[in-house]
A and B are shown apart, each in its own frame.
Chain A
Amino acid sequence: MQLRGVSVGYKSRRSTSLVLSDLNLDLNGGEVTILLGANGGGKSTLLRTLARSQPPLFGRIEIEGRDIARLPQVDLAKNVGLVLTDKLSLGAMTALELVELGRYPYTNWAGSLTKHDEFIARQALDLVGAAHLATRSVDEMSDGERQRVTVARALAQQPKILVLDEPTAFLDVTARAELLTTLRNLARTTSMAVVLSCHDLDLALRTADVIWLLNRRGDLDVGAPEDLIENGTIGAVFSSPLVAFSAADRTVVARNPLLGTACVIGPEPRIRLASTLLQREGFAPSFDRELDGIQVVMSEQGWKLTVGDHEQHGTSYEELGRSIRFVTSTTAGTENA
């Protein structure tokens, strides 16, 4: 799919509100493209325009050289599959029946399914790892299961492009990661182009082949996650006075007032965990033993905290955190005095 000079937005009789203008984008088969950006920036509007749920204000959207504005509804359905955030309420419909509805553009006027249609529907359920849900009622499923089945319904249309508007919105952490992994595998195995919007920055940056980043100028930055991290555009979009994007963590972290540097010594992975704890308490972790001030030594048994000539031992990170907070509060107290 190619977008050439496309502007998206809403047009009413009196006014035109342009959300994004002059987009030149490509969606490639086999790749996962993730649309990132703040709420209200036009992510849904762009995705709806890709699926022709609303027309572009200007420009052309083409699939294999054909303008989608001219495709009959049924042909469009064979090219573009859509997954929305709407919670479906379907009564007694089973997962397989829902997925079979996806065969709509291929069946006759009565909607009767051929052996081939049934095979494709089963295969779609299989592809999202939901074969065991086939006879379950959709209304009785967990959010994660329902979302998989909804994706399978779109797959049954055998589209070349799969458009998903915030498919992870209602899912828990595990289900989110599972869904995005499934989508990436689907893109690879079926060479379908997958495009979705998502709020989970860390997951998006780990999963996407291409990121479409809505920046604050109302424009799109395009590139691999690594490109956008390196050139700082991700940081610019997601940082605020309170939080900053951390390339190492691939997500935003709180900007704590820096109280100082603390030395951390010990084996992996304990040293890493102790470092994150120190960061949370406002200390930049350092591995330099010669440093004065706070020193944390991690061992297999527990931890040792040294501040000046005062020394403390403990086992859990909870205790360590509490001890550090005690130290910072007393030093802050003396400084104020």
Chain B
Amino acid sequence: MRNFVTILSLSFVWLIMLVLAVTVGSTPVSVSEILAVFLGKTDQAALAHVVISIRMPRAITATLAGAALGVAGLQMQTLLRNPLADPYVLGVTSGASLGVALVVLVSGGFTFGVFGASTGFVGSITVVLSATLGALVILIPTLIIASYLRNAGTVLIFGLMVGYAVSAFVTVLVAGASPDQLQRWTAWGFGSFSAVSWSDLPVFLSTICCGLGVAAISIKQLNATLLGEDYARSMGVNTRLTRLATMGSASLMAGAVTAYCGPIAFLGVAVPHLARAVTRTSDHAILVPVSALLGAQFALVAQLASLAPGQMGILPINAVTALVGAPIVIFVILRSRRGIAW
């Protein structure tokens, strides 16, 4: 009952943030103006453009990316029984980085003419495709091997090693890149929720919903996996299928977010801890929705905070997630009596 109230109030907070994300910006828009835009009663075409084409998709993207990373992080932490696990442990982001690095750093001249300066570069169709391909090339063999490894600890180390190995290739590419290519590579690494347009949203939305759906129907298995895979198996869990479905859906979500928004850091590790601290439960029936809601809020807060410099420009999302998030997580951990709420 208490947790139901938590979920309800978190949903309410999320709605408020969604409204804030649309109203706040370099040109503030009032709630009544937004309503006017929706009802088609405004004559300000520029205002309608800002709300419909820029801020709405940006707010929706932040919501989806935050929810996805929060839930994927929770799935990985539970499956691997490691409080520092995140959605990227299987090397999916390294794979995506490699894909993007190949496009940006090797064949950079090709995209330069099409997309011009670094603005609007993240999330361009070339980048999304290369990130997705890179992620899949790494993910599929990793998933197959990981599902046959003896225990979760081995999976964690295996994933980390794959990540390092792939990052090594990226480092080699970076070493040979021109300053111009490097700048755009770095811009991709900052992360951004601004690059997803209405036409991208259906694919992004359905991918994330698939991932969230798998998480939702495997709540029972996740709860049993809290005891470790040996116990889970003895309780009747098909641990191989659970591992495959959990790693698959978490990596799918992480891959989609990386492809469309760049490598969004920190959210995946931090949000599950916040969810446990807020709800004081280990029950995934509560933790999955709460992680999704908190993740969405976290991403929206980061998005709003990234606008802080005003006319001066915007802050990189990754700088904001860590700057805003690290103090919150440290506070939560220090406040809870037993240290990390795990």
Which A residues fall within an 8 A CB radius of B? Answer: 51, 53, 73-78, 80-82, 84, 86, 88-93, 97-98, 101-102, 104-105, 107, 109-111, 139-140, 154, 157
Contact = CB atoms under 8 A, between A and B. Distances in A.
Contacts of B280: 92
Interface stretch (B31-39, B115-123, B215-223, B310-318): B215-223
B226 A90 contact: yes
B220 A97 contact: no
Contacts of A73: 233, 236-238
A92 B234 contact: no
Q: Interface centre among A75, A91, A109, A111, by most B CB within 10 Å?
A: A91
B282 A110 contact: no
Given A91-B341, A104-B237, A82 B219 contact: no
Q: Interface centre among B234, B236, B282, by most A CB within 10 Å?
A: B234
B98 to A, nearest CB: 31
Contacts of A92: 276, 280-282, 341
Contact of A86 (B228, B235, B342): B228
Contacts of B235: 77, 101-102, 104-105, 157
Contact of B234 (A82, A89, A93): A82
A82 B281 CA distance: 24
A243 to B, nearest CB: 34
Given A73-B238, A77-B236, A91 B342 contact: yes
Given A91-B282, A93-B226, A140-B338, 8 more contacts: A53-B234, A73-B236, A74-B236, A75-B236, A93-B282, A97-B283, A104-B237, A111-B223
Contacts of B219: 110-111
- Sorting the interface of chain B by its residue count into under 10, 10 to 19, 20 to 34 or 35 or more gives 20 to 34
A53 B150 CA distance: 11
B110 interface: no
B337 to A, nearest CB: 10
A64 B292 CA distance: 46
Contacts of A102: 235
Interface of B: 81, 217, 219-220, 223-224, 226-228, 230-231, 233-238, 276, 280-283, 285, 338, 341-342
B220 A111 contact: yes
Contacts of A97: 282-283
Contacts of B281: 92-93
Interface of B is mostly: loop
B230 A53 contact: yes
Nearest to A140: B338
B227 A90 contact: yes
A73 B237 CA distance: 7
Contacts of A80: 234
B223 A101 contact: yes
Nearest to A82: B234
B227 A81 contact: no
Q: Interface centre among B219, B230, B235, by most A CB within 10 Å?
A: B235
The 6 nearest A-B residue pairs measured at CB: A77-B236, A111-B220, A82-B234, A105-B236, A74-B236, A104-B235
A109 B233 contact: no
A89 B237 CA distance: 19
Contact of B231 (A78, A84, A111, A140): A84
Contacts of A75: 236
Contact of B227 (A76, A88, A157): A88
B148 to A, nearest CB: 13
A78 B231 CA distance: 13
A111 B341 contact: no
A196 to B, nearest CB: 15
B226 A53 contact: no
A109 B342 contact: no
Contacts of A86: 228, 230-231
B276 A84 contact: no
B318 to A, nearest CB: 28
B117 to A, nearest CB: 47
A101 B276 contact: no
Contacts of A109: 217, 220
Nearest to A107: B220
A82 B229 CA distance: 12
A228 to B, nearest CB: 30
A92 B236 CA distance: 23
Q: Interface centre among A74, A77, A98, A104, by most B CB within 10 Å?
A: A104
